[in-house]
A and B are shown apart, each in its own frame.
Chain A
Amino acid sequence: MAFIHIPPAVLPPECEELREEVRAFLSKEMPHHRQKKEAAFSFFDPAFSRKLGERGWLGMTWPKQYGGHERSFLERYVVLEELLAVDAPIAAHWVADRQSGDQLIRFGTEEMRTTIVPGIARGEVYFCVGMSEPDAGSDLAGIRSRAERVPEGWRLNGTKIWNSAHHAHYMIALVRTQPAGDSRHAGLSQLLIDLTTPGITIRPILNLRGYVNFNEVHFNDVILPADCLLGKEGAGWKQVSTELGFERSGPERYLSSIELLMQMLNSASPDNERQAVALGRLVCEARTLRRMSIGLTAMFVRREDPGVISAMVKDMGTTFEQRIPEMAAELFDVELGDPASPLAQLAAITIQNAPSFSLRGGSREVLRGMIAKGMGLR
């Protein structure tokens, strides 16, 4: 069963040098005194994003002609994991750097590449993902947003939901441009949407903790230019699959609760066997996930098809992230949220965010279906 063997990968020395640079940068630039209120990785700080851009740590793998830095995916991996491990404020540029820029370079017009992509690499231009709709979540091919050709270009109607439009300049949206026909995957296209276009309403949605986390975005007869089409008309499904590949495979898929794990290591006693055994298991899992995640990245570098591995790493990683706050509640005799205990405070935030881990980027059940299919079931 070759498909479950992840070829081992070791980070080359240049990655370790880069790691030291990132750590030195973070020890200086990391805003230490911000009050921890938000979920990991959701702090929006454009100034910080611009600093990363100045260091050349955004758009790292993109061609220089589009503002990129032509570095390897492994080097990019090291920068990401170092940022995530300290919960740096990366929310502003995150989506644009992780997936949207790559979509523009891969499928966009030359104009998009030269006018927009460099702004992403500078940490100034932000994107959101327009896939989900109120009636189309896991069953993404069931989307109803519809764009028709008109003399000015495209007229778009519909609703996208759960995206981070409140922080974004652009959305890449999956919309229907032709009726479904035989296959529901046909007739879908990706559009690049400037969110300042008239006819767009962005309605914030509070998450369960009462913070603005995502939005519902309405498109009411929105007129878009003809050249907003990303890639080929009708090729939207294939393009989205490529995009989801990027969205599913990074270290953020296992590191969302890592700060709480560190806090637990600080609060536990080595002589408490219950704590030692449970935390030891989590540490073993973290070490293994990192190894898998680096192996997966190296497969991307070698342009190998990772097959079911991306889905596996995300499924296992998100389960790991969800177990950490549950273990915190189990191993420590504290009431979640107790202001007297930093552990209890962090655990309170983490446990309330944990339900989203196995939904965003494709739900656990959807991933398991993909794995099963990849193994020849079905």
Chain B
Amino acid sequence: MSNDQQLISDSINRLFEKEVNRNVLESFEKGQHPESLWQLIEEGGYHRVLDVESGATWSDVQPILRAIGYYRVPLPLAETLLANWIASRAGLSECDGPATIIDGGTLEARAQAGTFLLSGTANRVPWGRQAQRFVILCKIDGRWIACTVGAGNKGIASIVPGANVASEPRDTIRFDQCRCDEHAHVDLLDEDPVRTYGALVRAVAMTGAAESVLAQALQHANVRIQFGRPIGKFQAIQHMLAEVATDVAAALAAVSGACDAAGGRNAWIEVATAKVMAGGAAIRAARVTHQVHGAMGFTHEHMLHYGTRRIWSWRNEYGSDASWAGLVGAASIRRGGSAFWPDVTEQVARLQWQRNPIEQET
């Protein structure tokens, strides 16, 4: 880790270690938004670390994204980082408070008097009801336009609450002739930025969640006594946990590769790799750590589910493992066997991969 990363990592871990406790998580499950925790995040400026002005890279914020998973932070910090990153790259104004990002693909954007009117429904918007600002990414005339809509905008016709398996808000938002507060062109080198960068933040967070459930299981295995000895002495338990640790180590390596590539050309291939590796590792970590915890881990009282329920949710957000693997596979098949090794050893920036064949021909 670079010094910057170490600094960010230490301070964010200290904050969450202290503040994201059982109380916060239990209240959150009952519908209480952890307002004061958000205040602390804003005081630390963590929600805007990815802004262009801060000079930080995706690799620098990787520890924050991982900590969101490790400590199960019940707030839209990843979404806010992402939304502010896009907004700042577009040169739009700064904004405090939670934000979220919407793929404008399902909306209709009509140009009118120097702005855009948005209409239509956005499904499963993360933390929609908490967001102070929506950053909506629309492809207009072949260019990415970032539009912002404040929470109080009259064009927001309705927000219907929904949730993922971990009780995190995934809301349905209907826009009706919603006049954007601001909009600007944003230079993004990706075909499907919301899906790609959404997948990236979920992949990194999943490695954090997987690491935390593994740590819980290791601890449990050393203290739970059956047949007169800690269950961690049984080889079956040891091997299950060793395998999970290996999966998680691999996922950590993959997400660090994705963070290095993020923002650049063909970042998607690294993000896809990260999402596939992290998804697989996390789902196996959830399965095995529950097995190791026995019935106790199946209770609401035990903290394990705060990690595993997030894993089950995040794994399929912004594209399943299989959908990302399919993209990588199809592109690799098109490139052919002789390109495989040169591609694997090529620096990402020089890669000439294309996500679909149509673009490859141009």
Contact = CB atoms under 8 A, between A and B. Distances in A.
B177 to A, nearest CB: 40
B289 to A, nearest CB: 13
**A interface, over-half SS:** helix
Interface string A297-329: 000000000001100100110000000000000
Q: Which of B211, B322, B327 has the most CB of A within 10 A?
A: B322
Interface stretch (B14-22, B79-87, B93-101, B214-222): B214-222
A7 B59 CA distance: 12
Contact of A280 (B211, B218, B245, B276): B276
A183 interface: no
Contacts of B276: 280-281, 284
A273 B333 CA distance: 11
A271 B333 CA distance: 9
Nearest to B233: A378
B241 A375 contact: yes
Nearest to B210: A4
Q: Which of A258, A262, A280, A309 has the most CB of B within 10 A?
A: A280
A333 to B, nearest CB: 16
B256 interface: yes
Given A276-B333, A377-B221, A288 B253 contact: yes
Contact of A309 (B1, B249, B272): B249
A271 B329 CA distance: 10
A265 interface: yes
B277 interface: yes
Interface in B313-357: 321-322, 324-338, 340-341, 344-345, 347, 357
A275 interface: yes
B326 A280 contact: yes
B188 interface: no
B257 interface: yes
Which size bracket describes the interface of B in this complex?
35 or more
B172 interface: no
A312 B246 contact: yes
Contacts of B246: 312, 315-316, 371
B222 A4 contact: no
Contacts of B336: 265-266
Contact of B239 (A280, A290, A365): A365
Which size bracket describes the interface of A in this complex?
35 or more
Given A8-B256, A275-B329, A280-B329, A377 B233 contact: yes
Contacts of B222: 376-377
Contacts of B245: 1, 4, 308, 312, 371, 375
25 contacts: A6-B252, A19-B345, A81-B345, A265-B336, A265-B337, A269-B333, A270-B330, A276-B329, A277-B329, A278-B325, A284-B273, A286-B344, A287-B270, A288-B250, A290-B345, A292-B250, A312-B249, A315-B242, A315-B246, A316-B246, A367-B242, A369-B235, A375-B241, A375-B245, A378-B238
Interface of B: 1, 211, 214-215, 218, 221-222, 232-233, 235, 237-239, 241-243, 245-250, 252-254, 256-257, 260, 270, 272-273, 276-277, 321-322, 324-338, 340-341, 344-345, 347, 357
Given A1-B245, A377-B232, 18 more contacts: A1-B215, A4-B249, A4-B252, A16-B347, A263-B337, A266-B336, A266-B337, A279-B329, A280-B276, A280-B326, A281-B321, A284-B328, A285-B277, A291-B256, A291-B257, A315-B242, A377-B238, A378-B233
